[in-house]
Amino acid sequence: MMDITAFISGLPKVELHVHLVGSASVPTVLELAHRHPDGGVPTDEDALRAFYQFTDFAHFIEVYIAVSSLVTTDADVEALILGVASDLAHQQVRYAELTVTPDSHLLAGIEPDALSEALIRARRRSRREHGVELAWIFDIPGELGLESGVRTIDWVERWAPEGSIGFGLGGPEIGVPRPQFDEVFGRARAMGLHSLPHAGETTGPETIWDAIRHLGAERIGHGISS
């Protein structure tokens, strides 16, 4: 009798919703935590696995922010991407649309051109070393507001590397009205980027409607309240 789990595991796959920091592997995070021991992330593997145990959305955001704080150089960005690519390859993923949050890295002190070059290098190495083709979705950390949205699209317009296909909005939904980002998303769509915001994960269907009406959403991240 066929082992259906093994059969599915061996199938070639496409991954359309994967976040760079949110998908960081334990070995990669351990490497970054040792590079930056003052970042507040456990440097012991067992403690790190416990730290990663999901409890609720607020805890997820806490972990996400803590791991983001470890990414302070272009080399860190490249290491993070290659760790994700390795994990994807083990799952037989051949193509992935990877969400990157440029503003988080820029605020951490990475130069705009260095961030772009890290993405270029990592995309080439992902294809060569792991057989995974990466495409980029650049998202706004919604909790940082419209100013972050403007910084993000400014970076995208000048520095977006080859393989850029989408523009998104992530982070907490409560207290982050979607209509404030309508002009920013208009600029992204004018570049030919697809509108791929998160909506309706922790709020109701009205957030999904706002994403469709004001952001021109073509694909909704989560949308479980629809």
The per-residue pLDDT for range 88-100, each reduced to its tens digit, is: 999 999 999 999 9
Q: Give the pLDDT confidence of 142-183 residue by residue, as tens digits.
A: 999 999 999 999 999 999 999 999 999 999 899 999 999 999
Residue 91's contacts (CB-CB under 8 Å, 6 or more residues apart) are 9, 13, 15
Residues 6+ apart with CB under 8 A from 65: none
Q: Is 98 part of a structural domain of the chain?
A: yes
The yes-or-no answer on residue 201 being catalytic is yes
The answer to whether residue 1 is domain-embedded is no
Reported pTM: 0.92
For residue 224, the model assigns a pLDDT of 93
Whether 147 maps to a domain, the answer reads yes
For residue 159, the enclosing domain spans 9-222
Q: What was the pLDDT predicted at 73?
A: 96
SS (H, E, C) 169-211: EECCCCCCCHHHHHHHHHHHHHCCCEECCEECCCCCHHHHHHH
- For residue 82, what is the domain's CATH number? 3.20.20.140
pLDDT of residue 193: 99
- The catalytic position among 15, 133, 143, 201 is 201
- Report if residue 4 sits inside a domain: no
Angle of helix 112-125 relative to helix 74-90, nearest 10 degrees? 30
In which residue ranges of the chain is pLDDT below 50?
none
| Domain count for the chain | 1
- What's residue 84's pLDDT? 97
Residue 90 lies in a domain: yes
